[in-house]
Amino acid sequence: MYCRVAFIENPWYDDHFDIPTERQRIGKTLTMITSPGADMLSRGSLLIGWALYEKLDNVQSLMTQWLDDSAAPSPVVAASTVRTTT
């Protein structure tokens, strides 16, 4: 006996198997294989990966974190600017 049923689509997006475009797949791949680091290549790859993956909230948080890190004085510079009076 056969019973005809309507096609059921997944009502959710699991962010892994249901990535719809090639651009998003490339972006996810870039974010997964990029090792975290302070060099420009790592930062650029991670930023481009999140942008292609269309995770703009991650792009914004990365940019904010990098700007905050660059605004903080490094310990070497801070120690060399301290003047001692004798």
What pLDDT score does 74 carry?
Answer: 57
Query: How far apart are the C-alpha atoms of 86 and 16, rounded to whole Å?
Result: 64
What pLDDT score does 10 carry?
Answer: 64
21-68 pLDDT per residue, tens? 999 999 999 999 998 777 889 999 999 999 999 999 999 999 999 888
Q: What mean pLDDT comes out for the span 61-77?
A: 76
What pLDDT score does 20 carry?
Answer: 85
66: three-class secondary structure by DSSP = helix
**24 against 84, higher pLDDT:** 24
What are the tokens at 29? 């791949």
